[in-house]
Structure 1
Amino acid sequence: MSAGDHMSTTKEPRNASSSPTTFFCRALYDYEAPEGSSCLSFLWNDVIEVFTQEPSGWWDGCLARPAGDKRGWFPSNYVTVVSDEEAELSFSDPDAAVPGDPTNTDSAVLPRSEAKNEEGDPTGTSKPSALPSPLQPGLLSSRLHALAEILFDPRGSVRAGTVPALVEYLTAHKQEADQTFFNSFLMTFKSFMTLDDLFNLLVQRFWIQPPSEMAQSEREDWLKRKHDIQSRVLDTFKSMVADDDVLEQDETFIFGWMKEFLTNEEVANFPTAKQLLTLIELVQNGSDNAIEVVPPLLVAESGNQLKPWDIEPLELARQLTITESQLYRGIRPMECLQQAHGSTTDNLSSIAIFIQHTNKIALWVAESILSKEDPWQRARAVEHIVSTADWCRSLNNFSTMTAITSGLNSSLVRRLKRTWEHVDHKHMAMFKTCEETISSDRQFLKYRSLITSVIPPCIPYFGFSYSVLRYVQGLPDLVPAEDGARSILVNFAKRRQAWEVMNDMKRWRVPYNLDAIPSIQARIEEILNSTSSTMDSLYEKSLELEPRAPEDEKMAQLLRESGFS
């Protein structure tokens, strides 16, 4: 059955009740149904519930958001199947924009586009099965590729393009560089090309040749543009070397290639080439040419007594923050991108070590409270821990604050009613503030609003940033060209969003002006490393301390709570 058949057919979509099973899909592109047809129009990223699948590739479905009453036929090559959980997340709260969600118009970076075939018929576009190989080095022209090879959104930002076109734009002869594109490209290029390919394309870009049809009168202007392009190429190499987040340790082989390239006589005449050679030598020798600014220290309070309950909550929060900050600053944004993309992470990676540390804090919280036999003593332990969490919040250490809050909210601690009855109102208010700060309501609305006003240093809630990055990584890698061509373009808007998340994570990598007290640091490490209990054993301990109430007592309690005497 062709698209034209569907446009003219009188066949109507079946009722949902006639379909035994349904599933959900998400729109990869915009689709505008022909006027007067029984087709369904939708926009990029809309969620559709599918009721019928035709062998021709046309599906019958109903929009899940924003309007569930819109239903009709649509081409299946415009969508991708998603899980029920992902669909539920997309339309469970239509008023709440997902952080980093391109459907959020306040921070929209991936505008809606429309794919059409050569006749302008949106129903005739076939979805290519794979990305053609644009990575083979070839001679690049002096201008950008055809319009079909690079797309811009209404704000002028790059939305998509072929790999050669993206490299050309990266090194374009414009007076002002697109810094956002430049930074996004360097941080994410490994998701759509290799380091070898980038090096080869940049070198070819440097040796750009004039078009054969160029008139002699145009040559002088073209040579000026060529010089600007060559300077951009060298600036790109320099940024790759200077930014320690771009190249991994096993990728420093590129320095040898760069040095060989820079020794060419024509290349060596550029001042940037000499600077780049010096910078490569410094990096290879392990030198850091950056000027280190050491801020004045805030002398922490004395901590001579090493029992955890004798360490003041403020001091305990400070020392926990120092350790957590060191671990967070060890996380490389590129590692987050690779992990969010599905790459495996071993237990020695900086991400794994950071997560293990926060898990130890949550376990230590539960274990510490359950170590007290008396409800009153447990209440005092809760108050001490709540005060520590609140000080962490004041220090913008939302990571440790979240770990402590998670430990307090674990079922094995939360069920201790007699313990919580003895916690005073002041500490219960502190605890509520910490809970609300990291509440997941409306896609972490309060936390997102708070973090935008925070001035570094800060340790953000890593789980939130990582989940946003995972969401971005789930967006389509490729988008169709808009000129009727069947080629596929790299979805660069997706990469720009990933860079925005990683750049935000980098923003917080500022050390705290706190003085580490070795005795307390050693004690904290000892405490956290000694938490060997399992959740099952701790839950048994919790039941031992406060057994479940008998059924008749629970019934009496329910009646009392309902107003019956």
Structure 2
Amino acid sequence: MQAQQLQYDFFSEENAPKWRGLLVPSLTKVLSQVHPKLSSKEDALQYIEELILLLLSMLCQAQPRTVLDVEERVQKSFPHPIDKWAIADAQAAIEKRKRRNPLALPVDKIHPLLKEVLGYKIDHQVSVYIVAVLEYISADILKLAGNYVRNIRHYEISQQDIKVAMCADKVLMDMFHQDEEDISGFPLIDEEPSVSGEQMYYDLVKTFMAEVRQYLRDLNLIIKVFREPFVSNTKLFSHHNIFSRIVDIQELTVKLLGLIEDTVEMTDEGSPHPLVGSCFEDLAEELAFDPYESYAQDVLRTGFHDHFLSQLSKPGAAFYLQQLEEKSEDEEDKECLKQAITALLNLQSSMERICSKSLAKRRLSESACRFYSQQMKGKHLAIKKMNEIQKNIDGWEGKDIGQCCNEFIMEGTLTRVGAKHERHIFLFDGLMICCKSNHGQPRLPGSSAAEYRLKEKFFMRKVQINDKDDTGEYRHAFEIILKDGNSVVFAAKSAEEKSSWMAALISLQYRSTLERMLDLSLLQEEKEEQMRLPDPEVYRFAEPDSEENVVFEENVQSKSGIPIIKAGTVTKLIERLTYHMYADPNFVRTFLTTYRSFCKPQELLTLLMERFDIPEPKPTEADQFAIENGDQPLSAELKRFRKEYVQPVQLRVLNVCRHWVEHHFYDFERDAELLVRLEDFIAMVRGKAMRKWVESITKIIQRKKQAQANGPSHNITFESSPPPIEWHISKPGQTETFDLMTLHPIEIARQLTLLESDFYRAVQPSELVGSVWTKEDKELNSPNLLRMIRHTTNLTLWFEKCIVETENLEERALVVTRIIEILQVFQELNNFNGVLEVVSAMNSSPVYRLDHTFEQIPSRQRKILEEAHELSEDHYKKYLAKLRSINPPCVPFFGIYLTNILKTEEGNPDFLKRHGKDLINFSKRRKVAEITGEIQQYQNQPYCLRVENDIRKFFENLNPMEDKMEKEFADYLFNKSLEIEPRNVRSLPRFPKKYSYPLKSPGVRPSIVRPGTMRHPTPLQNEPRKISYSRIPDSETESATSAPNSPRTPLTPPPASAASSSTDICSVFDSPQGPSSPLHSSRSPPNLSRPHSPPAIPPRQPTAKAYSPRYSLSERTSVSDPPESPPTLPPREPVRTPDVFSSSPLHLQPPPQGRKCELSQTFFPPSPFSPAPPQTPSPLGPRKHLSSPPLIPPDCDLLPGATGPPVPPRQSASQAIPKLPPKTYKREPVHTSIPRDSLPLLENANSS
């Protein structure tokens, strides 16, 4: 089917991305419905998607606006009878849609796209109708391809399989290739060669079973499709006279196949092969094969079609029996086969005698083998035959026969009515080739010596066959009608020859239609005949569904069409967990995650064992009476019961057990008796179909036991080697010196991320369901979750303790800056749990109130902290958006999951009342499982980082509370906070230094960056910008320097000491800096030769030179000297009504009026609850003072002509710290500009 050119091209560069892959996931569901045991390659589903889009293009050509328009288009374009079936399915889908029963294909995604295709909006019901038609055709293609794949004993559908199957199906070929003159079918040469060598006994049995199944299908075709109309019109026809004992033969075939299947199934695992000789011996002794003789005599009377006989007269049984006898290794089985052969000798002789009178030797039986034997068996022989025929035809043009056809059917001579000479006809499944014989020698040297000359060829999918009555002009004729209305009449020499040609031609033309009719008939029969189940009193899982035991979600179904359970009894939940009609992996996953909230593991195993042990239904009184008379009324029903109920249920019980031990083995670790019971149960399971499941479960158990004995394995292979460990003041092995300020901030963040990632990945879904971490047995039920909660609490308290126990203001500011650096690395590692741990610590009461401390923090670090705090605003909206945008590995914030689970657990009842009975509210468990599923999707990807065991142990053993109780420790922290920064004082108390080592930060850039190693995993969405030390703003860069302590050196540490390092790798929370930003200034210190190392310490300048205009430091003697008197407060520029001071970035209240908010909006939009950030200064415009300026180090000279920002007073021997009233003191931006030519001096002050 080639759609005419539309304005909308589905496969153009512009439109193809919108449709590509849209249908592939849904086609997987369609395949699971038509062939549950087959899988498909991606290319096969993509090919079907292309075909469906072609079909959609054809439907849209008619510009449909209503359902009737689409239906009319289908009737005109689809071949008969597939048009009626597609319309029936589409109308059923509309009816179901009223009950919101969705199709497998995504209607909601296709509907808006159809507006673009058609150029106008159509009703949703029309879209449903169109999609239903498309889904029916896709299911038809997949069913056809699946049948072909099963016939060739494969288990995966490929694109080539679909092309091969469609090439043999006239209906689909007419639909998709109706305008193509030549169609490339499939390269037979690519198929694997058939196995022509000797087969072993078991292989012979499997081959025989496959052919018997196909033979049974052919019998069903005769009985269900052809015989049924005769049976329903007994007054007009006598079906017995026409079809003889065909039903007896079908029953015999079912019985034989059942006996062989049972024998194969029940064969002991230690036996080399199944012994099927007794199956034939028993039936032969019962004379069960005798209906063949009566049938052959009846159907071979004059006028009976040879085609029916060809299905039944091939001597296949004797051939297989002889081969089985030769290959059998068991003497008793050999004897059974000999007895069977002997008992069937008379029948065989009689059949051969009957057939020899009426059949051409071997011809029809050969034809039967071609049509109905295993298609792949003689593939290469077929190729060879086709090539020989093609070489023997002079004037052949176009594609090779082997590319258009699958098999050679027959050849012979026919007379074309109106032509002078006879035509030699070659009939293939796709082509009918008419040739004229070449008489005599070739006329010219070098010309072809072919035996035939091509006259014409017909594509079988484009013609119709019409029988012609004998007339005076011709006899024994039939007509081939072409698509354009022209026709060709051929005449055979005799009625027998005509019958042979008509049988082959009609079979080719209607085979696919008849197959579909048979499938429809079998499906309808299966729906009408209810399977007999055991008595519910004996087997409680056979209780019928009712509102008292199960409730389904109204107007909701899963994408695969499976009903979703809302509530039910435990028995009904177990029944649906192992349902015989379909598998529901989502339900299995949800159930095993949540069942502990209503059922204990021991109870679940008991229920599964009970579900597995299925009794057979008891016979009724009528059945019992028939049994007493020697009949077997239940044999067929029992066979169906075992095949369609017992086996699926038992396999699904084992599947549940496999999922249980694979994903929830902790249940068995906590209860050794449970594992023993499961192993005993598995050991009792018998049957070949169950063996692979038993082996799989046993291997999983052994692997889990081994892992339990060996401990968790950390041997993970990464594409690149992890970065080396970073060290700072503390060196390897100096564990007693490990602390916040002695360890490298990068390595602190890395090791904490590794530790928290391990904690996060260890949490099992069962630790969350039912809020068990808040219950009495929480230590038993939620050990991993509690370990993570305690670690998070300890780390947050440790950060708080490190801050408030650093009494010296300048040192405390550096401690806070160091923690913010750790937060930066957390961001780059996607450790959101760590980020919010820092935010929590900064937002705690003891730390949040330290306004003077936060005033000393560089503006860049404050901005980073503010942006991190925004993650938790508006119900974590920005955090959730960021989490979904990044690629693992990551450590999500666990608190939000716990909150959502608690709300779900507390807001929904555990049981629903129905007719006075309590049903388990499974919809509540499903909601919780959705949350745990989101947790699990981030648990699979580990970090490419190296564990440093000493640092890891240091953080594992953190105990900031020591022996204090929780309230006592909280009071201690708050009192300490009040001690270091009292309320309502203008002058802070002065404290001695705590640290004896330099507090200069090493930065957050790795010291060694090797090719092939990574600094950190790429954070969030974008790789951070690389900013060298030479591009750091002047005030922040220069303040990062540190000088040896001396009486002449101010002891106020540079508040932006980490600024240089913190800007090495821009956090993704930072805004990209444009060229006009100071970060991108072209003026850089020329002496910075190593971009990965901190800047060199500049030479000390006389302190008085920088500070003499404001303060005198000549009398200063020591750090510990108390201030004698407070100095005069520096002027505020400009003077205006003071704002409420809020230097901490963690305020939740709106910012004070009048404060500017110019934070970059690149990644985070401004929030009304965000505190005001400073304006980013630009070297090209007026240089504005930041809201909380960093202190200028003493070695930076201020230009005499430049009016700099106000500098807070320094501690000295003769001056006191100015009194800063909390929440009222706010410096305003300075609007005086610094001359442009002075900037290099400021930026390169260290070079002077």
- TM bucket normalised to smaller: 0.5 to 0.7
Runs of 4+ in structure 1 over 6 Å off:
287-292, 562-565
Matched, 1:390 2:820: no
Whether contact under 8 Å (2:796, 2:838) holds in the other structure is yes
Measured in 2, the distance between the counterparts of 1:234 and 1:487 equals: 31
Whether contact under 8 Å (1:367, 1:531) holds in the other structure is no
Any residues of structure 2 matched to 1:66-145 within 5 Å, and which? 139-142=539-542, 145=545
Whether contact under 8 Å (2:824, 2:864) holds in the other structure is yes
Matched, 1:444 2:863: no
- The residue aligned with 1:249 is 669
For 1:146, give the aligned amino acid: S
For 1:415, give the aligned amino acid: R
Return closer, same or farther for 1:142/1:292 CA change in 2, 3 Å cut-off. farther
Shift of 1:454: 3.5
Whether contact under 8 Å (1:261, 1:267) holds in the other structure is no
- Structure 1: tracts of 5 or more residues without a match: 1-135, 552-556
Deviation digits for residues 102-127 of structure 1, max 9, x if unmatched?
Answer: xxxxxxxxxxxxxxxxxxxxxxxxxx
For 2:592, give the aligned amino acid: L
Shift of 1:170: 0.6
Measured in 2, the distance between the counterparts of 1:140 and 1:192 equals: 19
Q: Secondary structure at the match of 2:811?
A: helix
1:159 to 545, 559, 566: 566
Matched, 1:561 2:1149: no
- The residue aligned with 1:337 is 769
Whether contact under 8 Å (2:871, 2:878) holds in the other structure is yes
Return closer, same or farther for 1:538/1:341 CA change in 2, 3 Å cut-off. closer
Whether contact under 8 Å (1:245, 1:333) holds in the other structure is no
Deviation digits for residues 55-102 of structure 1, max 9, x if unmatched?
Answer: xxxxxxxxxxxxxxxxxxxxxxxxxxxxxxxxxxxxxxxxxxxxxxxx
Shift of 1:293: 4.7
What's the TM-score once normalised by structure 2's chain length? Answer: 0.31
- The residue aligned with 2:944 is 513
Measured in 1, the distance between the counterparts of 2:823 and 2:673 equals: 45
- The residue aligned with 1:489 is 919
- The residue aligned with 1:199 is 605
Measured in 2, the distance between the counterparts of 1:525 and 1:284 equals: 27
- The residue aligned with 1:504 is 934
RCO higher in structure (CA 8 A, sep ≥6):
1
Return closer, same or farther for 1:559/1:544 CA change in 2, 3 Å cut-off. farther
Measured in 2, the distance between the counterparts of 1:260 and 1:372 equals: 63
Shift of 1:514: 0.8
- The residue aligned with 1:294 is 717
1:149 to 538, 541, 549: 549
Q: Secondary structure at the match of 2:892?
A: coil
1:276 to 673, 697, 711: 697
Measured in 1, the distance between the counterparts of 2:640 and 2:543 equals: 13
1:381 to 772, 795, 815: 815
Measured in 2, the distance between the counterparts of 1:387 and 1:179 equals: 45
Return closer, same or farther for 1:291/1:462 CA change in 2, 3 Å cut-off. closer
Measured in 1, the distance between the counterparts of 2:685 and 2:982 equals: 82
Measured in 2, the distance between the counterparts of 1:213 and 1:492 equals: 37
Shift of 1:304: 4.6
Shift of 1:337: 2.5
Return closer, same or farther for 1:255/1:517 CA change in 2, 3 Å cut-off. closer
Shift of 1:262: 2.8
Measured in 1, the distance between the counterparts of 2:604 and 2:687 equals: 18
Measured in 2, the distance between the counterparts of 1:540 and 1:291 equals: 44
2:592 to 183, 186, 195: 186
Whether contact under 8 Å (1:387, 1:430) holds in the other structure is no
- The residue aligned with 1:235 is 655
Q: Secondary structure at the match of 2:609?
A: helix
What's the TM-score once normalised by structure 1's chain length? Answer: 0.66
- The residue aligned with 1:170 is 577
Return closer, same or farther for 1:380/1:437 CA change in 2, 3 Å cut-off. same
Measured in 1, the distance between the counterparts of 2:570 and 2:899 equals: 28
Measured in 1, the distance between the counterparts of 2:975 and 2:591 equals: 52
Whether contact under 8 Å (2:823, 2:834) holds in the other structure is yes
2:789 to 347, 350, 355: 355
Return closer, same or farther for 1:138/1:302 CA change in 2, 3 Å cut-off. farther
Q: Secondary structure at the match of 2:768?
A: helix
Shift of 1:358: 1.3
Q: Secondary structure at the match of 1:151?
A: strand
2:984 to 538, 546, 549: 549
- The residue aligned with 1:28 is none
Shift of 1:164: 0.8
Matched, 1:324 2:748: no
- The residue aligned with 1:30 is none
Shift of 1:143: 7.1
Deviates more, 1:381-390 or 1:498-507: 498-507
Q: Secondary structure at the match of 2:741?
A: helix
Q: Secondary structure at the match of 2:723?
A: coil
Return closer, same or farther for 1:359/1:287 CA change in 2, 3 Å cut-off. closer
Shift of 1:401: 1.5
Return closer, same or farther for 1:458/1:277 CA change in 2, 3 Å cut-off. same
2:640 to 221, 246, 249: 221
For 1:400, give the aligned amino acid: G
Whether contact under 8 Å (1:398, 1:461) holds in the other structure is yes
Aligned residues: 419
Return closer, same or farther for 1:323/1:377 CA change in 2, 3 Å cut-off. same
For 2:567, give the aligned amino acid: A
Measured in 2, the distance between the counterparts of 1:305 and 1:500 equals: 46
Return closer, same or farther for 1:240/1:518 CA change in 2, 3 Å cut-off. closer
Q: Secondary structure at the match of 1:247?
A: helix
Return closer, same or farther for 1:279/1:346 CA change in 2, 3 Å cut-off. closer
Shift of 1:428: 1.0
Whether contact under 8 Å (1:170, 1:181) holds in the other structure is yes
Return closer, same or farther for 1:486/1:514 CA change in 2, 3 Å cut-off. same
- The residue aligned with 2:133 is none
Deviates more, 1:534-543 or 1:415-424: 534-543
Return closer, same or farther for 1:454/1:218 CA change in 2, 3 Å cut-off. farther
Return closer, same or farther for 1:454/1:149 CA change in 2, 3 Å cut-off. farther
Whether contact under 8 Å (1:139, 1:208) holds in the other structure is yes
Return closer, same or farther for 1:267/1:515 CA change in 2, 3 Å cut-off. same
Shift of 1:314: 2.6
Deviation digits for residues 283-303 of structure 1, max 9, x if unmatched?
Answer: 445479999752244214421
Measured in 2, the distance between the counterparts of 1:327 and 1:300 equals: 23
Deviation digits for residues 502-522 of structure 1, max 9, x if unmatched?
Answer: 222233334321112345435
Deviation digits for residues 369-426 of structure 1, max 9, x if unmatched?
Answer: 2233333332222222112113212212122221111111112111111111111211
Measured in 2, the distance between the counterparts of 1:518 and 1:293 equals: 17
For 2:640, give the aligned amino acid: D
Measured in 2, the distance between the counterparts of 1:312 and 1:241 equals: 42
Q: Secondary structure at the match of 2:919?
A: strand
Measured in 1, the distance between the counterparts of 2:674 and 2:953 equals: 41
- The residue aligned with 1:476 is 909
Whether contact under 8 Å (2:746, 2:822) holds in the other structure is yes
